[in-house]
Amino acid sequence: MRKIALLTVGVLAFEIALPALAAAQSLHTYVSGTGAGTLCSLAAPCATFQNAHDKTTAGGVVTCLDAGEYGPVNINRSITIDCVDTGATILGTDTGGINILTGDSFPIVVNLRGLTIDGGSASPFGIAMNSAGELHIERCRISGFRNGTAAAGITLASMDGSALDVSIADTIVTHNGSAAESPDTGGGILVLAAGATRVVLDRVEVSHNFPLGIGATAFGTAPSALALRDSAVVANVRNGIATSAANNGAFRVSVDRTSVSLNGGAGIVVLGASVVMIGQSTIAGNGSAFDAGGGGQIVSYQDNQTDGTPTSTVTDR
């Protein structure tokens, strides 16, 4: 009889807990600069992205209702943070701005829209993707991430055996990287490809970073690609675009209708078994236009405005 009573209590407790769990997360949550809610509902928005993330089911959406500083966020699931035209900001801390980390190879999809992410010179990265899946960044500004030996505005690291697909559009990445601590690492956008990695930049400005504007390194045998289109990689302290490959890896990079100018070092650097294709682009006014070594190639479609000489050419078809 006592066993039956205990079982009944247990079942009742379980039934009570189910609705509580269901209410704890929802597909659509909200933040507001004046928010003080805990459920992150439209009626009671939360004050921070982290609270909203934690209250959002995988695949859900966090919407900014108005301007505010919503704090850094650790993302561990598929999610969209949509703040276009609201004045939403994140001030990075000593642990970074947006850290996307699942801890396993299960692919996720993360969309970030309309964010100003500021490091205040005391934060190591604006956005770090250390998971498999997809990351799409639109209409964001990432600046001032200067703390640490590999400080960067955006760090994209794929895992061995997993694919990573990234697009960045209508975004400014400026004044990142540490001059004091990272003479050879850090910068605006860093791609560290251990698995198959594809990155597309469309209408992106990468400027005044240290030392690199864009660094792309392939560590594994999976093919990786970086495509720039209608973008500007300008006035970075050292190299504009630097690619390298190790362990039989290779990056294929296309630079299409893009300006790579006024960088203090080389405009484009290719080291190892990587190829950079340039078309309808301007590579001028850098310390030097091109630097290719270790079998790296810079191939031109012969329609570029440049004060340098590519390693080889191909004709339009």
Partner 1 sequence: MTLFSGAGASRLVFDRVRIQNNTDGLLIQGTGLAAANVHVRDSLVVRNTRNGITAARTATVFVDHTSASDNGAAGILATAPGATVILGGATITRNGTGLVATSGGTIESYQNNQASGNDSDGLSPLTLPLK
262 binds partner 1 (CB under 8 A): yes
Interaction pattern, residues 272-291, with partner 1; x per rule: CB under 8 A: --------x-x-xx------
Query: 234 or 269: whose CB is closer to partner 1?
Result: 234
Amino acid at position 160, single letter: D
The least distance separating partner 1 from the CB of residue 92, rounded to whole angstroms, comes to 25
Question: By C-beta, is 34 or 309 nearer to partner 1?
Answer: 309
Task: Give least dist CB 232 to partner 1, A.
Answer: 5
Residues 77, 102: Cα–Cα separation, whole Å: 7
Query: Per the structure block, which two tokens stand in for 84?
Result: 């276009």
Q: Exactly one of 95, 248, 302, 312 binds partner 1 (CB under 8 A); which one? A: 302
With CB under 8 A as the contact rule, which of the stretches 116-124, 149-157, 242-250, 307-315 interacts with partner 1? 307-315
Residues in 180-239 that interact with partner 1 by CB under 8 A: 205, 207, 230, 232, 234-235
The least CB distance from residue 270 to partner 1, in Å, is 16
Place of tokens 């191939």: 299
What does residue 76 show for φ and ψ, rounded to 5 degrees? -130, 20
**Do 45 and 37 form a contact (C-beta atoms < 8 A)?**
yes
Give φ, ψ of 272 to 5 degrees: 85, -165
**How many angstroms separate the CA atoms of 29 and 38, rounded?**
10
Nearest to partner 1 of 108, 276 (CB atom): 276
Q: Is the peptide bond before 211 cis (omega within 30 degrees of 0)?
A: yes
Binding of partner 1 by 304 (CB under 8 A): yes
CB of 26 to partner 1, least distance (A): 39
Q: Is 14 exposed, middle or buried (0-12, 13-18, 19+ CB in 10 A)?
A: exposed
Q: Per rule CB under 8 A, is residue 267 in the interface with partner 1?
A: no
Q: Which of 45, 153, 296, 310 binds partner 1 (CB under 8 A)?
A: 310
List alpha helices for the chain, DSSP H: 2-24, 49-54
Of positions 147, 185, 259, 274, contacts partner 1 by CB under 8 A: 259
* Pick from 252, 257, 299: nearest CA to 277: 299
User: What is the contact surface with partner 1 in residues (CB under 8 A)?
Assistant: 205, 207, 230, 232, 234-235, 257, 259, 261-262, 280, 282, 284-285, 300, 302-306, 308-310, 313
